[in-house]
Structure 1
Amino acid sequence: MGASLPPKEANLFKLIVKSYETKQYKKGLKAADQILKKFPEHGETLSMKGLTLNCMDRKPEAYELVRLGLKNDLKSHVCWHVYGLLYRSDREYREAIKCYRNALKIDPDNIEILRDLSLLQAQMRD
């Protein structure tokens, strides 16, 4: 996570993830904006900012940022996982599964992605 960021920004990225997990969305957005000021095309940060905005009912902006993040870093399991989470939140389960599978191709041992994929497959009876 936070690939190719200097230590300060890598710590900010961890803060974004923690803020998302604890539903402190404004705090997460602030950290994302700090990273994006220095690294405006950092795919994983753009994706996490999009995921955070999605939780704040700013869906169009969220999809735009997540797609931009993915475009900037197609080889990131974080970007693919976030895209899957976004689709899942909109009940687009087939698309979410495709995204999770892409994330697993990049990081096959990631427990969070495996868990999300298996739960969704069980729900879909896939």
Structure 2
Amino acid sequence: MKVKNIPSLLAAAKADKTMNRKVAFVTGDESSSLYIIELSPKEFLPAHYHKKGIEIYYILSGEASISYRNCNEKDKGKTITRKLSAGDAISIYPDVIHQITNTSENALQVLGTAPQSHNSTDRFFVEG
């Protein structure tokens, strides 16, 4: 068993090279991993999607908006935007383009679960 301290991991985290935001891997394996994201006021994660596995965001602190839409040609829909605050959780399914934005004047901390590949080979960016 390993014990890791999330605030310490976040304090030591450097900006993710692709997302350009603080992302720290906490624990897990390819089927399920736990990570922490911190966004400064007005920062956002670029719009992207994954082809496999469910991603779950749990808002630890702060306020955000998340915009999402299906990227499959047959199911393409309009973009939906929802407000999120501490205590909210959202499930993001494969082929759903999503972008989360810190809408507050404080840091946004998001605890996420996803396959490890979401942070490397299974992340596809889109415009807008």
User: Please, what TM-score do these two structures have when normalized by structure 2?
Assistant: 0.29
Structure with larger RCO (C-alpha < 8 A, sep 6+): 2
Higher helix share goes to which structure? 1
Structure number with higher strand proportion:
2
User: TM-score when scaled to structure 1?
Assistant: 0.29
